[in-house]
Structure 1
């Protein structure tokens, strides 16, 4: 159920019947020639919708900007700070708490947001003690991706506009995925990128970290469905549901 399309007269009953708020969190940044700037928003939205159906949740309007420092100089990228994201999420979470929600699930579509989401959840842990806060980023995806990946990953943490993320798009948002423009770009990412601030233009001109040509809807479905099952289980377990 989409929260923003409800009206103020009816929403209280629907909150009471659900008590689960789901917030898609994304970003606007370069994703190569074959994926849109809003890829992370689109993925977070579609995944949030699937999650809401499974747990009887209310999907909030997307938080559409993220911390994209590493890609901030690529055409189209819009960067905001972790502090800005944390402030937004804490304010949203506290509003939800006062509205009667007892579960706040942030469905993140952008790896760079991870630190901010975790910090916001920690603040909300103190200020909203009766509300369970989750920060989800495709839980369980690493093992699932390793089972279907045809090429070696460019990095042990990053995946971007590559075989994996493009597969997510083919499954969840095929209408904005242009496989005719998909490329192969497997950069040599320097070791110092893990221990000191490093802009991605140092090692890639495309923002693609892999072989997007190998992406398939089937791969995306396999990984995303596992992540979705894990999110559903984590929420249901917290609520004592069988």
Structure 2
């Protein structure tokens, strides 16, 4: 009986230690400063920073570029042992800035803002700063440039991922066609997150335009809220199971890239 009692005490002790080691939340704006200090950087060295903007997205929410990378970050954070920084909800919108509900932040304002955020993450002792970018165009180039500058300046390691481009093979695998801005790929990803944000009944093929081939034509504002990679595609004719499959496969591909990049950084002693 005494021996059994001792075993129970040991198990309770281990259970208590495990409970103390498990972080209460992966979200930086929900954790308190004391718990943050207990985990970063001793136990957690990676942070995921979702970045997006507000602009039209066909039959899904204007904030799809924010909704997608945040959901992705939350889904893969545990696997990567990473924290999730608050989403950068406003960005360099570009040719769709004239549409209702869209916002456009100038490069002159955005560049120092994103630079200070990256510096703040480095100051908080994150070694791996992973930007999950939900919005393309000029914003991609700006994020890549500033992230590289901060990496060189402060000795941290940065990675910028445009998830829809990186996972283009997954789009073809699941839907047998290409996607596009607000195409079936983005629409399906949002449906997997929150079906109430998708209004397929509002889809109108006249609101979809194939993206121009390089050096052919350019229109500002862009004439449609849906910009397709291929003419005649993009109709949201997928079901919930396909949307869920797409969400899982995209996230798995992104997580694997992050893990492999960190592994190679470590292997090289960078």
Range of TM-score over shorter length: 0.7 to 0.9
The question of 1:212 aligning with 2:235 is answered yes
The question of 1:172 aligning with 2:193 is answered yes
Cα distance in structure 2, aligned partners of 1:136 and 1:226: 11
Larger radius of gyration: 2
Cα distance in structure 2, aligned partners of 1:198 and 1:82: 20
After TM superposition, the structure 1 stretch with the greater mean CA deviation from structure 2, 175-184 or 161-170, is 175-184
Higher relative contact order (CA 8 A, sep 6+): 1
Cα distance in structure 1, aligned partners of 2:70 and 2:135: 12
Alpha-carbon shift at residue 136 of structure 1 (Å)? 1.2
SS at structure 2 position matched to 1:201:
coil
CA offsets per residue over residues 150-189 of structure 1, 9 Å max, x none?
4455xxxxx2111111111122333422333334354244
The question of 1:117 aligning with 2:136 is answered no
TM-score scaled by structure 2?
Answer: 0.76
Gap regions ≥5 residues in structure 2: 1-25
The question of 1:98 aligning with 2:101 is answered no
Answer yes or no: is the 8 Å Cα contact 2:171–2:177 preserved in 1. no
Alpha-carbon shift at residue 208 of structure 1 (Å)? 5.1
RMSD across aligned positions (CA):
2.4
Answer yes or no: is the 8 Å Cα contact 2:46–2:129 preserved in 1. yes
1:43 to 40, 51, 68: 68
* Residues 1:35 and 1:230: Cα distance change in structure 2 (over 3 Å): same
Cα distance in structure 2, aligned partners of 1:144 and 1:73: 31
1:226 to 237, 253, 264: 253
Counterpart for residue 235 of structure 1: 262
TM-score scaled by structure 1?
Answer: 0.84
SS at structure 2 position matched to 1:48:
helix
Counterpart for residue 55 of structure 2: 29
Count residues with an aligned counterpart: 230
* Residues 1:15 and 1:176: Cα distance change in structure 2 (over 3 Å): same
SS at structure 2 position matched to 1:61:
coil
1:187 to 185, 188, 209: 209
* Residues 1:178 and 1:116: Cα distance change in structure 2 (over 3 Å): same
Cα distance in structure 2, aligned partners of 1:227 and 1:56: 14
Gap regions ≥5 residues in structure 1: 154-158
